[in-house]
Amino acid sequence: MPKSLIIVESPSKAKTLKKYLGRNFNVMASVGHVKDLPKSKFGVDIEKNFKPRYVIIRGKKKILDEIKKAAEAADKVYLAPDPDREGEAIAWHIAEELNGKRNKIYRVLFNEITEQAVKKALTQPGKIDQKKVNAQQARRILDRIVGYTISPLLWEKVRRGLSAGRVQSVAVRLVCEREKEIEAFVSEEYWSITAKLSGSTPHSFMARLHSIAGEPVKISTEVQAQEKVQMLQGLTYAVQQIERKDKKKNPLPPFTTSKLQQDAARKLRFSPKKTMMLAQQLYEGVEIGTEGPVGLITYMRTDSTRLSAEAQQEARTYIQDQYGRNYLPQQPNIYKNKKGAQDAHEAIRPTSVQRDPEGLKQFLHKDLYQLYKLIWTRFLASQMNPAILEVTRVDIAAGEYLFRATGTVTRFPGFMAVYVEAQDNGAVKPAKADTQAGEEGAADLEEEAGSLPMLREGERLDLISLEPKQHFTQPPPRYNEALLIKELEEREIGRPSTYHTIISTIQDRKYVEKMEGRLKPTDLGEIVNELLVTHFPDVLNVEFTARMEQELDEIEEGDKKWVETVRDFYEPFNKRLEKAQHEMRDIKREETPTDIVCDRCGLPMVIRWGKNGRFLACTGYPDCRNTKEFTQDESGQLSIVQKETTTSNLCEQCGSPMVIKTGRYGR
């Protein structure tokens, strides 16, 4: 009896499917894409409506031959790569290679790899979605046009080996522009005054000076702060007003791809690339004891917060059983998708809420467990009641001076019994000098807020101490990976399947480096960004890039032809390319004078660009080939990097001192 053939892209996914489908199905893996544009050639015929020339990827011919042989013997062929554009393209390329067997080729889609979902998908087979294939093809060709034409220009003008990407270059621009904001920021000094007070109970509390004669506090210097402290010492302090109110704190929606990457970066310190690698494993199947491989989460590339009715009901049953009716809303919580969301797949959630993280802990390595727990708790919390917080605000009068204390206590934990939100460290805009003690002061106290002692209006208070404190307004922070993903998403640049690739690529290409967890442009990144912004303003324009993403979505919806989109991009781009080839600065030949003198021949040294970045070169070249590595501080001061540093360690062979050598490739 002939078997049905199912083709997926991942061996681990194939292993999970085999467990569910039994002997009547042969499951094979393509191990990713099988065809692509050639690496060594442009591969796109501009004159023939941008016709791509796909070739079999190196190492994939043997896999394709095995798939073809299995397809010959099968009565039906089910193409089951991931349910997104890349998955559709993989299915399409395999179908092209199986030409002549189209009457028995079907496309099947499942959002989760569970026995029920897989078997249901096989009862509802469809055809390859050519519109989705066209959207992927358009993206691939646009990226090839940009990368294959700008990169050689950068080789010629800056150094060999550089590359430009249509979306990645925009991400580099965002990092460079943030760095310019930081460099241009002028910090302003200001002071706050905090009073330590106590009432009729023995517990003391802190209150911040909030206003003077009804006007916001403005204290710019230490002298002014000390003057205020002196004035405040002999005053009478009394509770002027107490305001208590309940505040609802609603749960967050279940994860989309970008929100998962952001939360994993904040809470677990995972890079987006690591998060997606782990999520892929959880989706495709993890060995769970005697059960074998089990798909633990739904598809991890999604921009939707939608949940199936079955998933909502399962969560509600679990909440009632484990936490009680007080934690269960009357109706399931439903969340609105952001504008422009494709909503092709559900939110990221566990395939079964009954598989709680603690029960799986013994089967998952630490990182997998942490990510699964994050997904599980966020999903469960999304279907719980809000938390109820009691916020108390106490205004304390001392003559014309008003101090304010804030306390927050949890009256009902609600979803917070399961999930606690993470905050971005330093993810706020700089405080303005005219809101020193208002917004920022309140925020500071809110962060420290706990319960306040029992107080009553009119109660006299004892002043224990006054603390003046110096502050400086802060520039906007550098992006960390979570914040850059958030910025890309808000500006509609990239899609769920591309965020982690963008973040890793700009670092791999040495355009951006990570310093103390924050992203900073390298010298190379800044110079390449400057050249591209000058000569390709459209390609590097944030709004233009977002509009291209929208057009790709329109191609997938069938509202736009892919060839038209590519042509509309190519024609103005090609004109700019021709112009840039003549007008772009030749960084390779540029020399920046310095006051450093060559220690070999006495001639001045200049800054030049080489294959590993900037270096000092003697102007006596080629007679003198002396070069130096250097560093440059924020003021522009140059310091030569010593190539050898003697250490106290002795060579175990000859007894001579060991030295640390520094070169262009490191130490």
Residue 435 DSSP symbol = G
* 77 touches 7 (CB < 8 A): yes
Q: Are strands 387-398 and 189-198 parallel, antiparallel or unpaired?
A: unpaired
Separation CA 194–CA 465 (nearest Å) = 8
Q: How many other C-beta atoms can be found within 10 angstroms of the C-beta atom of residue 363? A: 15
Indicate if 436 and 342 belong to the same structural domain.
no
What integer is the mean pLDDT of 113-134? 94
pLDDT, mean over the chain: 90
Residue at 339 is within a domain: yes
Indicate if 246 and 162 belong to the same structural domain.
no
Indicate if 280 and 300 belong to the same structural domain.
yes
546 to each of 164, 338, 484, 485, 490, how far by Cα in Å? 18, 15, 15, 14, 10
* 14 touches 293 (CB < 8 A): no
Q: What's the pLDDT score for residue 590? A: 86
| DSSP-derived 3-state class of residue 305 | coil
| DSSP-derived 3-state class of residue 434 | helix
Q: Decide which of 84, 100, 128 is a domain's last residue.
A: 128
Indicate if 307 and 377 belong to the same structural domain.
yes
Of the ranges 222-226, 228-232, 260-264, 584-588, which one carries the lowest mean pLDDT score? Answer: 584-588
Three-state secondary structure string covering 267-293: HHCCCHHHHHHHHHHHHHCEECHHHCE
| Tens digits of residue pLDDT in 481-496 | 999 999 999 998 988 8
Residue at 567 is within a domain: yes
Indicate if 355 and 378 belong to the same structural domain.
yes
Separation CA 629–CA 639 (nearest Å) = 9
CA angle 465, 468, 472 (to 5 degrees): 155
| DSSP-derived 3-state class of residue 115 | helix
| Tens digits of residue pLDDT in 513-561 | 999 999 999 999 999 999 999 999 988 899 999 999 999 999 999 999 9
Indicate if 513 and 540 belong to the same structural domain.
yes
Indicate if 172 and 246 belong to the same structural domain.
no
Residue at 124 is within a domain: yes
Residue at 134 is within a domain: no
Residue at 135 is within a domain: no
Counting the structural domains of the chain, the total is: 5
Q: Is 299 a catalytic residue?
A: yes
Extract the tokens encoding 641: 């990097």
Indicate if 578 and 598 belong to the same structural domain.
no
Residue at 263 is within a domain: no
Q: Pick the catalytic residue from 283, 299, 499, 511.
A: 299
Indicate if 180 and 198 belong to the same structural domain.
no
Q: What's the pLDDT score for residue 663? A: 55
Q: Decide which of 564, 583, 602 is a domain's last residue.
A: 583
Residue at 312 is within a domain: yes
Indicate if 8 and 116 belong to the same structural domain.
yes
Separation CA 467–CA 394 (nearest Å) = 19
Residue 401 has pLDDT above 90, yes or no: yes
* Residue-range definition of the domain harbouring residue 152: 140-184+482-583
The length of the chain, given as a count of residues: 667
Q: pTM score, two decimals?
A: 0.85
Residue 100 has pLDDT above 90, yes or no: no
Residue at 653 is within a domain: yes
Q: What's the pLDDT score for residue 413? A: 96
* 323 touches 384 (CB < 8 A): yes
Indicate if 502 and 608 belong to the same structural domain.
no
Give the DSSP letter string of 340-407. T----SPPB-BS-TTS-HHHHGGGS-HHHHHHHHHHHHHHHHHTSPPEEEEEEEEEEEETTEEEEEEE
